[in-house]
Amino acid sequence: MTGRDKGAAANSRTRTGQAWPLWLALAPAALAFAQTASAQSTNTYTNATVANINAATSCSAPLIRNFVVATSFTIADVDVGVFATHTFRGDIRITLQAPDGTRVQLVNGNTSTISGDNFNVRLDDSAAQQVNTDSATGTHSTAAPPPFANVFRPDSPLSAFMGKAGLGTWRLEICDAYPGSDDGQFRYAELALTSAPANFADLSLTKSVSNAAPATGAAITYTLQVGNAATSPGTATGVTVAEVLPAGVSYSSQSGFGSYDPSTGVWTVGTVAPGQTRTITIQAVVTAMASATVVNTAEIATSSQGDIDSTPGNGVAGEDDQASASFTVQGTRTAGVAPALTCPAGSSLFDWDARAWAAGSLSNGYAMAGIGTIGFTVSSSGNWMNDANYGGQSPSLSNAITGGIAGSQRSLHQYLDFNTRAETAVTTIVLPTAVPGAQFTIFDVDYNAGQFADRLVVTGSFAGVTVQPTLTNGTANYVVGNSATGDVLSANAAADGNVVVTFSQPVDTIVIAYGNGSAAPANPGGQAIAIFDITFCNPAAILGVTKVSALVSDPLNGTANPRAIPGAVMEYCILIQNPGSATATNVIGTDIIPTTLTYTAGSMLSGASCAAATVAEDDNATGADESDPFGASITGNTLTATAASLGPGAGFALKFRATVN
């Protein structure tokens, strides 16, 4: 998409028809009261001095709330809780300053789309959800903490305070980034400081790549170093590093300290004493295409000692136990050639021209012959745009973006205004039964300098197991693994921004996440993609059968090392499975017992697998046991197993015993 439309929202917002400018709050500093705690524990300091947040000045003069820490210890973790009654909580900006002057803006306070009232939040780096992403319009509870009504991750990590001295005055600043007519009131705050243990390690990880601009097929080397600060009081043992090589490189060899397992991505480091540094180099070959940027992130995964300023394996960016290295592949790019979709039972086309999608709707279902009702669900943390040139209120069906396809065919158009690089739009396609494969094109995955850098991540699943598609690039984007990122501008009617998605194995769920790559600005603008028609391979059932046997006992040895001699008891299991993508019905399997064996009456058991075959079956073909849900019977020397239906990925087993004649 070539344009950008941020509108007036970037500078002002409208309430009851009037624009209102930026404003903030100012109030005097207040005292804090500490709840004393012992060493190596969490010290909680509170401030409940109520003050208004309603001054019409700027955030250069915020409301101040101080916490006085009278004991000396080293910080291992910090949490902050704030409760304020205030309309438009997206206005609130919160900053914490340590006694040494270290400052972290915990809540940015410029989220103009958040109109929900009140702020009742404990800020914790380990929280799964980022602050101000819970609800744009929802109102936070006014029940006075503790406990706080919500726990969210701050906009900038509190880990910046790890390793700092706790002693002194901690300063909490609260203001309104949109000063104006809104009144608010600070009610209560908590500062929770966790002291470091007496015997900790201060581990850190660095990482580099030998060539930041290699060509496809070039050899590169990643160098990783784990160090323990010389001032650390403890030796770290059991240290491992998670270093999973990304899509776009292929492992070759390794050298250096410890051992690296390319199949698991684990570098086993072992012991790192204070002042020591452990180094490993990993050689790899570049497999990514020209212009692709490949980012490789590693993190210390385990350590026997607590770390003063990071937590192994927590995945929190910005901590010093995590490091990244990247390269961009050089060369001339050409549009890729998508793999041919092979469909054993033929294919069916899901054509948007034959479908209806009410502009702005986020969920629809469509019946398709041979497959059933296909569900489409769309969600986004960004703002859906309304533009008549692109089908009206998005998401919508439109032919404004054609991807070079002849005619005026429609596609599912998604036009959004993303406020941050982290925001995404997610399209989930759920099939009532799996299909052997699928293929479709997404139009206009491109880039506009200073505005956006389109990025797709496409995944699938079959019976709950992840299925990865093959993505094929256009000339305006590059592909790494199951993601495609735009880096060249493409016209709406051009094929340059096309990305072809191909699933070559059974799939029942497809998820398309659309957002921005790292080259996008912090506040991207309006941007769009279009999901074109989908070719589904027609579902097909595929039945397979296996049979296994085991000796149970013999007349001489009993169950200890039995042998297949006359009188020995054998146990057999017949397993019928459907690895296909359609449901098989009226499934019947038979097994003829040879004359060298005599069936053991009443020994049949059924179940979904040999291990799960525990349901007793009688020897006839009648009764409730024939549909629980499998049936089994014997007539003469022929065993028969039945299943009314066998869905994709399902199986059923029949176990029985026989005596060797």
Domain end position, chosen among 146, 172, 195: 195
pLDDT score for 34: 34
pLDDT score for 53: 82
Q: What angle do CA 327, 331, 336 make, to 5 degrees?
A: 100
- Asked if the model's pLDDT at residue 482 lies above 70, the reply is yes
Q: What angle do CA 173, 170, 192 make, to 5 degrees?
A: 100
* Domain co-membership, 229 together with 318: yes
* Domain co-membership, 62 together with 174: yes
pLDDT score for 111: 65
| Mean pLDDT score, 265-269 | 98
Is residue 171 in some structural domain?
yes
The enclosing domain of 157 has a CATH number of 2.60.120.260
Q: Which of 157-166, 202-211, 304-313 shows the lowest mean pLDDT across its residues?
A: 304-313
pLDDT score for 56: 55
569-577 and 544-553 beta bridge pairing: antiparallel
Q: How far apart are CA 270 and CA 274, in angstroms?
A: 13
Q: How far apart are CA 651 and CA 608, in angstroms?
A: 5
pLDDT digits (tens, 9 = 90+) for 75-133: 888 999 999 999 888 889 999 999 999 999 999 987 667 888 999 999 998 888 999 88
* Domain co-membership, 530 together with 419: yes
Is residue 432 in some structural domain?
yes
* Domain co-membership, 550 together with 590: yes
* Domain co-membership, 618 together with 485: no
* Domain co-membership, 188 together with 209: no
* Position 318 confidence tier, pLDDT thresholds 50, 70, 90: confident
Is residue 341 in some structural domain?
no
Domain end position, chosen among 504, 537, 570: 537
pLDDT digits (tens, 9 = 90+) for 504-555: 999 999 999 999 998 899 889 899 999 999 999 999 888 899 999 999 999 9
- Asked if the model's pLDDT at residue 5 lies above 90, the reply is no
* Domain co-membership, 461 together with 411: yes
**CA nearest 473: which of 284, 338, 647, 625?**
338
The enclosing domain of 265 has a CATH number of 2.60.40.1530
Is residue 151 in some structural domain?
yes
| Mean pLDDT score, 447-456 | 94
- Asked if the model's pLDDT at residue 14 lies above 50, the reply is no
Domain end position, chosen among 139, 174, 195: 195
Residue 337, Cβ density class (10 Å: 0-12 exposed, 13-18 middle, ≥19 buried): exposed
| Mean pLDDT score, 282-289 | 94
**CA nearest 434: which of 651, 647, 652, 586?**
647
pLDDT digits (tens, 9 = 90+) for 407-449: 889 999 999 999 898 999 999 999 998 999 999 999 999 999 9
Is residue 353 in some structural domain?
yes
- Asked if the model's pLDDT at residue 61 lies above 50, the reply is yes
Is residue 336 in some structural domain?
no
pLDDT digits (tens, 9 = 90+) for 626-658: 999 999 999 999 999 999 998 888 899 999 999
* Domain co-membership, 225 together with 140: no
Is residue 612 in some structural domain?
yes
* Domain co-membership, 68 together with 182: yes
- Asked if the model's pLDDT at residue 402 lies above 80, the reply is yes
- Asked if the model's pLDDT at residue 466 lies above 60, the reply is yes
pLDDT digits (tens, 9 = 90+) for 333-371: 899 999 999 998 899 999 999 999 999 999 999 999 989
- Asked if the model's pLDDT at residue 380 lies above 60, the reply is yes
Q: Which of 179-193, 215-229, 295-309 shows the lowest mean pLDDT across its residues?
A: 179-193
* Domain co-membership, 255 together with 319: yes
pLDDT digits (tens, 9 = 90+) for 569-620: 999 999 999 887 788 889 999 999 999 999 999 999 999 999 999 999 999 9
The enclosing domain of 431 has a CATH number of 2.60.120.380
Could you please report the per-residue DSSP string of 251-317?
Answer: EEEEEESSEEETTTTEEEEEEE-TT-EEEEEEEEEE-SPTT-EEEEEEEEEE-SS-BSS--TT---T
Contact 649, 606 (CB under 8 A): no
- Give the containing element (helix H, strand E) for 376: strand 372-380
Question: 582 is in which domain, residue-wise?
Answer: 544-660
* Domain co-membership, 392 together with 285: no
The enclosing domain of 619 has a CATH number of 2.60.40.740
Q: How far apart are CA 158 and CA 562, in angstroms?
A: 65
pLDDT score for 181: 61
- Asked if the model's pLDDT at residue 21 lies above 70, the reply is no
| pTM for the predicted model, two decimal places | 0.61
* Domain co-membership, 189 together with 224: no
* Position 27 confidence tier, pLDDT thresholds 50, 70, 90: very low
Q: Cβ contacts of residue 526 below 8 Å, gap of 6+?
A: 1, 3, 4, 5, 6, 385, 415, 416, 417, 452
Overall number of domains in the chain: 4
Is residue 338 in some structural domain?
no
CA of 46: how far to CAs of 80, 170, 188, in Å?
Answer: 10, 11, 7
- Asked if the model's pLDDT at residue 491 lies above 90, the reply is yes
Residue type at 457 in one-letter notation: V
Query: 516 is written with which tokens?
Result: 């921005």
pLDDT score for 643: 93
In percent, the amount of the chain with pLDDT more than 90 equals 73
Q: How far apart are CA 216 and CA 294, in angstroms?
A: 12
Phi, psi of 624 (to 5 degrees): -65, -25
In percent, the amount of the chain with pLDDT more than 70 equals 92
